[in-house]
Structure 1
Amino acid sequence: MPTHTFDVLAIGDLVVDFVVEIDHFPVEAGRFQIDHGHVLEPGGACNLLIAAARIGLKSAALSRVGDDLHGHFLLDVLVQDGVDVSAVEVSSEKRTVVVLTLVAGGQHTFIGGMSASPDLTIPPRWREMIRHSRALFVEGYAFAELSPGMVSDAIAAARAAGTPIFFDPGPEVHNLGDERLALALCASRVVLLTAEEAALAAGIDDPVQAARRLLRFGPQWVVVKQGAAGCTVCTADGCAQVPGFAVSVQDSSGAGDSFDAGIIYGYLHGWSPERTGRLANAIGAVTVSKLGAGRQVATRVEVETLWGEKIVNGE
């Protein structure tokens, strides 16, 4: 058995979020809105990596960024939070993805582009790191931002090594296609989706019934994120409805990614679905109470204060 150098790796989806808080949606041509605050923060998988590092997981990024201001900004912030970026490739031929995130009333929308490469395989170093990690996190956006071939190859490498895959299709569930979605679902140990995404993936509106159908693909856990209501964690033994925390919501962007870090932590430490869901809910709740994610995602102290429990590494 390989020695585990890392707790969790995230492949692809290293992006910069330019978050602007506006009056309301929709944004209409010719209608002026006030900028109530704006921040530049790491986004995408950076939120998962930072949140994981803050609660005690050894996290690392497998990705590419441009040799530009935004790419170096991302790497600097990740390093400051203890995320290993030694395997991130910096390329003068790639432009770091920047996403405009508009926020109003706790809701958000994204405006951005992707820069997927035609590469079909991951570098040998990434393959070796996957062998020596306790988990691989795969986000739906990674297929578009990095490369469909590379992400599929990383999934295959994780399966060959016995490294658990945590898959969050995100809004890209619309665009993955049936074959790619089925491949990821069948390969995953844990699947994480919103209620809307679960309905699309399973073809059933009821989130619990959707989760139960997705379990047929083979994951041990299917986690349905339900915002302020908390989450539902379904296993072969049944479904646990885990209540959320009452907080004032400022910005929901990044909450789902940071939530995922809590699920990964609890699963890797052998926690029950209920306790794991409670930790994840606390992380997500703290994150939505701030503008932007990235450096604003929940800290360990903030999570423990809201949750009312201590996160003890190894337990």
Structure 2
Amino acid sequence: MNLNTATLKSPILSPPSHPTPIPPRLLLNPPPIPSPYRPYCSSVSGVCSGGVVAVFPSKHNQLRHCTSFFCSASTTTSDGYSRPVVKDIDVATLGNLCVDIVLSVPQLPPPAPEDRKAYMEQLSSCPPDKQFWEAGGNCNSAIAAARLGLHCAAIGHVGDEIYGHFLLDVLKNEGIGMVGMVEDADVNSSNASYETLLCWVLVDPLQRHGFCSRADFSKEPAFNWVTELSGEVKMAIRRSKILFCNGYGFDDLSPALIMAAIDYAVEVGTSIFFDPGPRGKSLSRGSPEERLALNKFLQKSDVLLLTSDEAESLTGINDPVLAGQKLLNRGARTKWVVVKMGARGSIIITRSSISCAPAFKLYY
């Protein structure tokens, strides 16, 4: 099949004139303005124990360009909001905020679960130098979007410890707002279940990679104590044009909470972008709640992003175009399916066209 490039209309609503967003780095130190959110603090000490609560750099509360659109003033949502809210956040990510610790090791972790857990606990007992730390998970999506000049927020949980402080500082330096999952200032940060998620990225002498995280050793999500969307989380979703979610979000948030976020995003007119990632396959074979949540994503997402292998695992079709079309037809709201093909670029499938985008050449 011959695929040609094409200019596609964005599935996200915007006014006819859409000026180039101002890069976040040019908006540092704006004048203070009234805000419903607490000022950003690089340390959560003294603010809360074990969770960050609605922390936004003040620039995210200031309308700096006219790209926003409004929710319907005539619709009252389930949380009681009835007046229009300006969608001044371009992209908000949901969950999957973690610190990647990249280490060279003489050999990869053993395959047996108990041995792997002991291996990870040994690594965790002595934190390596910060030069080996990186913001991981959905932080990468938010950072990439912010560096393109978009106004971004990260919704999720980080702990009140060195790793949580590190993530907050990285997000602050990138101009990204942070909204915690809890409003309770009495969260017990001494409990391991409230600590920032770590992912150990291990590289052996042959450049093979192995990954270890505490989420690998639990049947429950890491933050299953978060049982409902807080008012501040709802407001962040309501203020966002796009809610970006990925399959790894199920490692820290419960299927019920994720489904509540999906339903609320649809209710307030926020577009959903979903990238199932490698977890898509396990979710499709997971618990009834996981399968239900995955199906809701596939039904209600405006844009699906997945690799050709992931598309095949969800559809049973090895042709990426046909697999993408099946996913498109399956979704009640889906406007785009983007199938990622590695060095061969991506295929973008809509209800009226099929096009391709070449891969970017990377320089190290």
**TM-score, normalization by structure 2:** 0.61
Quickly say closer, same or farther: Cα 1:127–1:28, change in 2 above 3 A: closer
Q: Which residue of 1 aligns with 2:198?
A: 98
* Unaligned 5+ runs, structure 2: 1-70, 72-84, 112-130, 216-221, 285-290
1:13 aligns with 2:96: yes
Residue 28 of structure 1, CA deviation? 7.4
Partners of 2:256 and 2:293 within 8 A in 1: no
* Unaligned 5+ runs, structure 1: 30-37, 249-288, 290-315
Quickly say closer, same or farther: Cα 1:3–1:14, change in 2 above 3 A: same
Give the aligned residue type for 1:185. Answer: L
Residue 176 of structure 1, CA deviation? 1.8
Q: Which residue of 2 aligns with 1:300?
A: none
Give the aligned residue type for 1:110. Answer: F
Partners of 2:197 and 2:214 within 8 A in 1: yes
Q: Partner of 1:170: helix, strand, or coil?
A: coil
CA distance in 1, matches of 2:108, 2:133: 22
Residue 123 of structure 1, CA deviation? 0.6
1:140 aligns with 2:239: no
Q: Partner of 2:304: helix, strand, or coil?
A: strand
Give the aligned residue type for 1:124. Answer: G
Aligned positions of 1:96-245 closer than 5 A: 96-103=196-203, 108-114=209-215, 115-177=222-284, 178-218=291-331, 219-245=334-360
Quickly say closer, same or farther: Cα 1:109–1:199, change in 2 above 3 A: farther
Give the aligned residue type for 1:234. Answer: I
Partners of 1:61 and 1:88 within 8 A in 2: no
Give the aligned residue type for 1:51. Answer: A
Could you report, residue by residue, the CA deviation over 1:74-132 in whole angstroms, capped at 9, with x for unpaired residues? Answer: 11111111000144658514011111113478874422122131433211111122111
The structure with the largest alpha-carbon Rg is 2
Partners of 2:108 and 2:209 within 8 A in 1: no
Residue 148 of structure 1, CA deviation? 2.0
Q: Partner of 1:216: helix, strand, or coil?
A: helix
CA distance in 2, matches of 1:21, 1:225: 29
Partners of 2:89 and 2:151 within 8 A in 1: yes
Quickly say closer, same or farther: Cα 1:26–1:69, change in 2 above 3 A: closer
CA distance in 2, matches of 1:62, 1:170: 19
CA distance in 1, matches of 2:313, 2:326: 12
Q: 1:59 aligns with which of 149, 152, 155?
A: 152
CA distance in 2, matches of 1:211, 1:86: 33
Partners of 1:185 and 1:217 within 8 A in 2: yes
Could you report, residue by residue, the CA deviation over 1:254-313 in whole angstroms, capped at 9, with x for unpaired residues? Answer: xxxxxxxxxxxxxxxxxxxxxxxxxxxxxxxxxxx4xxxxxxxxxxxxxxxxxxxxxxxx
1:41 aligns with 2:129: no
Partners of 2:179 and 2:233 within 8 A in 1: no
Q: Partner of 1:101: helix, strand, or coil?
A: strand
- More off after superposition, 39-48 vs 144-153: 144-153
Give the aligned residue type for 1:238. Answer: S
Partners of 1:58 and 1:83 within 8 A in 2: yes
Q: Which residue of 2 aligns with 1:76?
A: 169
Q: Partner of 1:85: helix, strand, or coil?
A: strand
Quickly say closer, same or farther: Cα 1:231–1:26, change in 2 above 3 A: farther
Residue 146 of structure 1, CA deviation? 2.4
Give the aligned residue type for 2:344. Answer: A
Partners of 1:120 and 1:148 within 8 A in 2: no
Q: Which has the higher helix share?
A: 1
CA distance in 2, matches of 1:217, 1:43: 31
Q: Partner of 1:3: helix, strand, or coil?
A: coil
Quickly say closer, same or farther: Cα 1:230–1:183, change in 2 above 3 A: same
Could you report, residue by residue, the CA deviation over 1:20-77 in whole angstroms, capped at 9, with x for unpaired residues? Answer: 3569x97779xxxxxxxx7210100000011111111110011111111111111111
Give the aligned residue type for 2:348. Answer: V
Quickly say closer, same or farther: Cα 1:6–1:180, change in 2 above 3 A: same
- More off after superposition, 63-72 vs 145-154: 145-154
Partners of 1:116 and 1:143 within 8 A in 2: no
RMSD: 2.4
**TM-score, normalization by structure 1:** 0.70
Residue 228 of structure 1, CA deviation? 1.3
Give the aligned residue type for 1:172. Answer: R
Quickly say closer, same or farther: Cα 1:208–1:11, change in 2 above 3 A: same
